[in-house]
Chains A and B, each alone.
Chain A
Amino acid sequence: MVAQIVSLLALAATIVPCLLYFFGAIGLDAVKLTALIGTIVWFIATPFWMGRKLPVDAKEVEI
């Protein structure tokens, strides 16, 4: 649950600053920095909850 919330915040850090940039609230450097932080956090947090519970036949079926 915690990992899922962290992932959600990371995703928001990737996309929301662009919208703020679109409306003139922040600059492009801030967008790039927050997007990078969001990316790093996403790839750390998301594997903890996404795709961990594989079906019982996962060893036989690879899809």
Chain B
Amino acid sequence: MSEEERKSGGEFEREPVPDSALLGPGKFWGMYAGEHTAGTEFMIGPLFLAAGASLQDLFFGLLLGNVLAVLTWRFLVTPIAMSKRMTLYYQLERIAGGSLVRFYNLVNGLLFCFLAGAMVTVSASAVGIPFDIFYEAPAATFGFGAPSFTALVVVVGVVMAVVAAAGYETVARVANIAAPWMIAVFAACGIVSLVQMNATSVGALTEGRFWAEAIDFVQEKNGPQTFGFWQIVVFAWLCNGAMHFGMADLSIFRFARCKSSGWAPSIGMFLGHYMAWIAAGLLLAALIKVAPDATVGSDGKVSANPGLLAFQALGWTGIICVVIAGWTTANPTIYRAGLALQGVMPKSSRTTMTLVAGAVATVAGAFPNLSAQLLGFVGTYGTVLGPMGAVILVDFYLMKKFGLVDEYAAHSGVGINLAVLIAWLLPVGVGLYLIFWKGLFAAYAVIPAWFACGVIYLALSKLTQKPVAAK
């Protein structure tokens, strides 16, 4: 291993992955199964119920949305990843310039940290159950929970950060080991919940009254809300928008030996974002049925406490599952955030940056309301990060066809490629305005921003590119 490689952790972070380091599809299937059957599923499933999604819309909307997500990974991300074999960050640096990518990396890393923070919260909600320390979302977005819960979040966050800093090999191994068991536990939670709601006959299951009654209860406490079929489709498709449309998973698929690895996210989607979401939604419906008071917080509103939901269905196994599910998702996320932050300071070690990312995630995890707003957060996250994927796609497929220079920053030596800067910030700015000031459902902004970014990047490149010496 060269000196430079050793400093960067030996993970080919600033060079194409050599053939000798390529991995077969099995590694990717195990990794994705662990990543998308996660602690957040315990949160997102109940949020669908709380938002008023009908059971029928949930079944068919999630099916369509997940198919679209898998196709995006396979046909958008994998071909570019296998051709370039570079991390997202290094590839962007060659296109957008070092200074611009440092800013993007900072935004990227912070958003990853907040996502990981939500998972720290979820894990802490389960760890707290045996100690009578309960998760409860305060009214303010940046309000703390009980002091004991905040202390618990710190402990859980520190453990997660240290494990993530140990490296991806450790994380992948734990995710591999836990994945089949975790999937079984999610399924078990769903089945137990059905029995608790007396939904054990074909008639009761198809009628779905147990679900409708739970929605009525939530809406009586929280006020009326609707979450329709297309919202479910778009959410399921784009909740990982930063990973596929945004090309963050280039950093993973650059190791792929064959294109079939690109189908690996399907195991995560259909077990984690289909079965597990529905099972988690059933957990809240069941708790509403058997102990409605336990679902109502001090503010009189229904909120989902992931640890409590799993505990009432499967006891200690449920608690262990929530902790491990949160852990196996938070770890790769903190790891990725570490990579992103390392892009800001390339001379720093990945281990140090992973610990920094873990610390930020822990602070974010101390605000329980962030995890309670996951439906909106992941859409915003895709809107901000997703468009850069369009820059990579246009650069890879279209620049030469339009007589332009690809990887312009690498060839011209500019620190900031203005075409990329404007193409990214303009649609993202409009998207954030529509989300935060006009109340647009966040996931709806991802694809328009992505397309706008690609078109603007191509047009501005045509206007701003100057001839460069061939390298």
> Which A residues are within 8 Å of any B CB, using their own CB?
10-11, 14-15, 18-19, 21-24, 28, 31-33, 35-36, 38-39, 42-43, 46-47, 50-51, 54-55, 57-63
Contacts and interface: CB of A to CB of B under 8 A. Distances in A.
Contacts of B178: 43
A54 B177 CA distance: 14
Nearest to B27: A63
Contacts of B11: 60-62
B188 A18 contact: yes
Interface string B171-197: 011001110110011011001101100
A11 B23 contact: no
Contacts of A61: 10-12, 17, 21, 23, 255
B3 interface: no
A51 B194 contact: no
Leading 8 A-B pairs by shortest Cβ distance: A62-B168, A32-B315, A35-B317, A18-B191, A62-B169, A18-B188, A15-B184, A51-B173
Interface residues of B, number: 39
Contacts of B187: 15, 18
A22 B177 contact: no
Given A21-B191, A54-B169, A63-B252, A32 B176 contact: no
A19 B176 contact: no
Given A35-B317, A61-B11, A63-B172, A22 B20 contact: no
B214 interface: no
Contact of B177 (A35, A50, A55): A50
Nearest to B168: A62
Contacts of A14: 181, 184-185, 188, 317
A48 to B, nearest CB: 10
Contact of A19 (B167, B185, B191): B191
A26 B200 CA distance: 14
Contacts of A58: 169
B177 A32 contact: no
Contacts of B243: none
A39 to B, nearest CB: 5
B320 interface: yes
30 contacts: A14-B185, A15-B184, A18-B191, A19-B191, A23-B200, A31-B192, A33-B315, A35-B185, A35-B314, A36-B315, A38-B317, A39-B181, A39-B316, A39-B317, A39-B320, A43-B178, A43-B181, A47-B177, A51-B172, A51-B176, A58-B169, A60-B10, A60-B11, A60-B21, A61-B12, A61-B255, A62-B168, A62-B169, A63-B31, A63-B255
Interface string B397-411: 000000000000000
A16 to B, nearest CB: 9
A38 B181 CA distance: 9
Contact of A18 (B5, B10, B23, B192): B192
Given A35-B317, A55-B23, 16 more contacts: A10-B181, A11-B180, A11-B181, A14-B184, A18-B191, A21-B195, A24-B200, A28-B195, A31-B192, A36-B315, A36-B316, A39-B317, A61-B17, A61-B255, A62-B169, A63-B23
B1 interface: yes
A9 to B, nearest CB: 12
B21 A62 contact: no
B173 A21 contact: no
Contacts of A59: 10
A15 B192 CA distance: 10
A62 B172 contact: yes
A54 B172 CA distance: 11
Contacts of A21: 191-192, 195
Contacts of A35: 185, 188, 314-315, 317
A25 to B, nearest CB: 11
A40 B135 CA distance: 26
B20 A57 contact: yes
Contacts of A11: 180-181, 184
Given A14-B188, A61-B255, A43 B177 contact: yes
A54 B21 CA distance: 12
A54 B316 CA distance: 32
Nearest to A24: B200
Contacts of B167: 62
Interface in B298-316: 314-316
B167 to A, nearest CB: 5
B173 A36 contact: no
Contacts of B316: 32, 36, 39
A59 to B, nearest CB: 7
Most buried by A among B23, B27, B168, B317: B317
Contacts of A38: 317
Most buried by A among B5, B11, B180, B252: B180
